[in-house]
Amino acid sequence: MVQFPGTKTTTKTTTVNGVTTTVKTITAPGQPTRIITTTTTKVPAGQQPADNQRLPTQLGQPQPQGRQPVQQSQSQPQPQPQPEQQEVKRKSSGFFTNLKKHVLPKKNNNVPQQQYPTQQQYPTQQQQPQQQQPHHTTIIRQSEDDGPIDNLAEKMRHAALSRPTQHVEHHSSSTTTQDGKVVRHNSVSHSHDGPEDSIACLKRSRPCVAPDFNGQRLDVSAIDFSREDGHARACPSSEMTSIPRLSHYLTSPFKGNQISQLRTIFTWLANNIAYDVPAFMSGRYGDQAPEAVLRNRKAVCEGYSNLYIALAEPAGLKVKKIIGVARGIDTQVGDNRLGSPHAWNGVTINGEHLLIDSTWGAGVCDLSTRSFRKLFRPFFFLLRPNKLIYTHWPEDPKEQFLDPPIDENVFRGLPCIKPESWQLGIKLSGNHRGQVIKTKDDAIEVEVRLKKRPQDGATGKIVARLNWKGQSIPTSVQWAREDAKYVYMLIKCWCPSSGSGELSVFGWPPGGDQTKNGPQCLLYKVVNEGSGRAAKPLLQQYVVKGFSFSVLEPMTAQVNKGVPQTIRVRVFDVEKGITPALALQGPEGGMPERLPQVQPGLFEMTKVLTPGQWKIVHMTSEYGFSFAAVFDAV
């Protein structure tokens, strides 16, 4: 069998009523998972084996979770198999050394294969669990419905439940020993699932909680941390001379309040520890012990995580370090890598498992200038597991804190969602639910949804740009529909040639200033197999204060002259006290002609256009107006 880099093997052997079953699961990046089942039954000479002993994996027999019923076929007798050797436990290794295989896998036959738990270690009601080592917590499935999931995910979820969540080859063999002869029965079955179903697969998993969970999930966004943040930022240098002293300063004013104590540590780290970009790029990380990080005031992710734990311990806060990989600044969208080595922290509050990444909460890196820019990002404080899993992949599947844990292929297929997307209520919708969008006809169309603010129905604003081989290609963002909770928007653009590029979606909060740069919220890799000949310049739209709008017709920057042309504009998210008044101004200038409002929020008229440039405007007064969109009649 070919040994692929990064191959992982799990072996589990059980014996029941004289039947020994060995299940071996082999996974490798980019390769189908192989599940090899070997069953051996010893029968006294002259006695026929019972049907349920001879073929325990035949159709109709109970199957372990994660396997499909398979057909059995006999083969020629084979030599008596040797007794199965006892499984060798994997020894834990150093942080970055142990994780380099995720980033730059290298073939090394002398290194033992990493052991990952299989689906069988999470028993269902039909499968009784084998004797296991006790976990650090009891897994309880807790219903939850949040995240960037469209209603379509629920329909996809039911379809996904009836099939495995990954591409799997099931290799099954049954061996019967009788009268000194060995008969082996082999079969192979296949199942397929693509990365486009990753969100639906994640939807099947629920955040795990401990037995003492009180049923109330923590909403960090509803807590005012101004006192805690102010106290952490005001820390004098005299209190930073040692870890015990700094811990006492940060946590003692908030005794009995675990959340506030954790927050002051998070804020202090973000304000005082800089990310060591040169060390990260060189691979020489230096001393990441808590004392060294406090002394040097710089670290990579492991140092942040270590110091967080050290500051929490004197206050009796139980914080653990989680190691794995993350999709950071050095990971490209659509990249097949899992990510770069990373470390973060986990805590349990009132029975709820929550996650903290003080490294990402401290700022952002610029690899081109080898610099770090401090930027306080409280989004990474006490995150729910089903949010952080979009970017963070722990080495131990149990530290996903998801029931059941998602598969590696599911993680690879999850879309590139930035933290600001969650904060601004900009979420995925439609068919493009992965990192890569492919087209054969030069055209791209992506649907996203904007969450309405409960108190007034206001939504965030978005624009999109296509970066294509060094060019910034304009896009069109159009209103598609809306309901009580969301406004659905279509992002449309043309690829000017064959090849690939990146589609970025930027956003602003309700009422945000769109004249200033907004944060990136979503990122896609776009692959065009077309020639680019079908590409057309799109209508140019401007920002209008007081409301959002979409020009539904015309869509392109050029229309035909001398023929009837429909002008249709949808207005939405209107601020209080604003009355939209749209009009059309011709090439000759003069007073614009008002567009009739044919129904609430929809302005429309049909007109034969003369050659020249036409402008859609918003009348701000009887004679004043601001530009909304421009197109040409040719």
pTM for this prediction: 0.67
Distance CA 26, CA 115 (A): 10
Query: Is residue 59 predicted with pLDDT exceeding 60?
Result: no
Are 308 and 166 members of one domain?
Answer: no
Can you give the pLDDT at residue 423?
86
Last residue of a domain, one of 504, 535, 566: 535
Q: Is residue 554's pLDDT more than 90?
A: yes
Whole-number Å distance between alpha carbons of 498 and 495? 7
Domain contains 162: yes
| Structure-token pair, residue 161 | 């439940």
Same domain, 443 and 357: no
Specify the pLDDT at position 540.
84
The pLDDT score that the predictor gives to residue 36 is 64
Residue 244 has pLDDT above 90, yes or no: yes
Residue 451 within any structural domain of the chain: yes
Q: Which whole-number Å values give the CA distances from 552 to 192, 555, 602, 604, in the listed order?
A: 39, 6, 10, 10
What's the rounded mean pLDDT across residues 232-254? 97
Residue 300 shares a structural domain with residue 435? no
Task: Compute the distance between CA of residue 275 and CA of residue 366 in angstroms, rounded to an integer.
Answer: 11
Residue in 2, 394, 4 with CA at minimum distance from that of residue 208: 394
- Quote the pLDDT of residue 514: 79
How many other β-carbons are positioned within 10 Å of the β-carbon of residue 16?
Answer: 9
Each residue of 416-455: pLDDT tens digit?
998 889 889 998 887 778 899 999 999 999 999 999 999 8
Looking at the predicted structure, is the pLDDT value of residue 250 above 50? Answer: yes
Beta bridge partners of 174: 39, 185
Does residue 302 lie in a domain region?
Answer: yes
* 445 close to 528: Cβ distance less than 8 angstroms: no
Task: Give residue for tokens 């504009």.
Answer: 569
Give me the mean pLDDT over the 268-275 stretch. Answer: 96
Q: 479 and 340, same structural domain? A: no
597 Cβ contact partners less than 8 Å away, ≥ 6 residues apart: 603
Q: What is the average per-residue pLDDT within 383-408?
A: 94
Nearest to 392 by CA among 364, 414, 366: 414
Output the average pLDDT for the chain. 77
Whether the CB-CB separation of 65 and 12 falls below 8 Å is answered with: no
Same domain for 191 and 57: yes
Distance, CA of 147 to CA of 207 (rounded, Å):
12
CA distance to 420, 499, 573, 605, per residue, from 595 (Å): 36, 41, 19, 6
Q: What is the pLDDT of residue 137?
A: 38
Range of the domain at 485: 423-535
Q: What percent of the chain is predicted at pLDDT more than 90?
A: 53
Can you tell me the mean pLDDT for 514-528? Answer: 89
Residue 267 is inside which H or E element, if any?
A: helix 258-272
Check whether 58 has a pLDDT greater than 50: no
**Whether residue 428 is found in the same domain as residue 378:** no
Q: Number of structural domains, the chain?
A: 4
Which has more confidence, 191 or 463? 463
**Three-state secondary structure call for residue 156:** helix
Q: Which of 30-39, 41-50, 553-562, 576-585 has the lowest mean pLDDT?
A: 41-50
Please report whether residue 524 resides in a domain: yes
Domain presence at residue 84: no
563: domain CATH number is 2.60.40.1930
Contact 585, 618 (CB under 8 A): no
The C-alpha angle with vertex 398 and arms to 395 and 404, in degrees rounded to 5, equals 120
Alpha carbon distance 372, 59 (integer Å): 59
Each residue's pLDDT tens digit, 351-369: 999 999 999 999 998 877 8
Identify the three-state secondary structure at position 410: helix
* Range list of β-strands (E), 203-303: 206-209, 274-275, 298-299
Residue 337 lies in a domain: yes
Of all residues in the chain, the percent with pLDDT exceeding 70 is: 70
Task: Supply 210's token pair.
Answer: 């401990």
pLDDT value of residue 358: 97
DSSP state of 538: B
Neighbours of 133 (CB within 10 A): 4
Residue 259 belongs to some domain of the structure: yes
- The string of pLDDT tens digits covering residues 478-493 is 999 999 999 999 999 9
- Please determine, for residue 222, whether its predicted confidence score (pLDDT) is greater than 80: yes
pLDDT for the residue 62: 37
For residues 389 and 354, give the distance between their C-alpha atoms in angstroms, rounded to a whole number.
Answer: 12
pLDDT at 330: 75
pLDDT band at 16 (very low <50, low <70, confident <90, very high): low
Give the pLDDT confidence score for residue 38 in this predicted structure.
60
Indicate whether 267 and 378 sit together in one domain: yes
Within this chain, do residues 492 and 553 fall inside the same structural domain, yes or no? no
Rounded CA separation 584/399 (Å): 58
Are both 57 and 93 inside the same structural domain? yes
Query: Residues 39-60: what's their mean pLDDT?
Result: 43
Tell me the sheet residues that pair with 566. 606
Asked whether 257 and 225 are in contact (CB, 8 A), the reply is no
For residue 385, give the H/E element and its range. Answer: helix 385-388
Q: Strand 548-553 vs strand 593-594: parallel, antiparallel, or unpaired?
A: unpaired
| CATH code, 306 | 3.10.620
The pLDDT of residue 199 is: 86
Q: How confident is the model at residue 35 (pLDDT cuts 50, 70, 90)?
A: low
Greater confidence (10 vs 355) lies with 355
pLDDT of amino acid 516: 81
What is the C-alpha separation between 619 and 610, in angstroms, rounded?
A: 22
Report residue 419 CA to chain centroid gap: 10
pLDDT score at 180: 40
pLDDT of amino acid 23: 62
Residue pair 95/302 in contact (Cβ under 8 Å)? The answer is yes
Here the CATH number for the domain that contains residue 456 is 2.60.40.10
Q: Is residue 361 part of a domain?
A: yes
Same domain, 12 and 123: yes
Same domain, 556 and 574: yes
Q: What is the pLDDT of residues 560-600, one digit of tens each?
A: 999 999 999 999 999 888 999 999 999 999 899 999 999 99
Largest CA distance in the chain: 106
What's the mean pLDDT in 287-299?
A: 96
pLDDT confidence of residue 487: 93
Tokens of 293: 């990080």
Residue 123 vs residues 8, 65, 66, 130, 504: alpha-carbon distances, Å? 21, 7, 10, 9, 42
Residue ending a domain, among 535, 566, 598, is 535
Statement: residue 79 has pLDDT above 80 = no
Final residue before a domain boundary, out of 507, 535, 563: 535
**Rounded distance, CA 566 to CA 553, Å?**
6
Kindly state whether residues 54 and 21 are assigned to the same domain.
yes
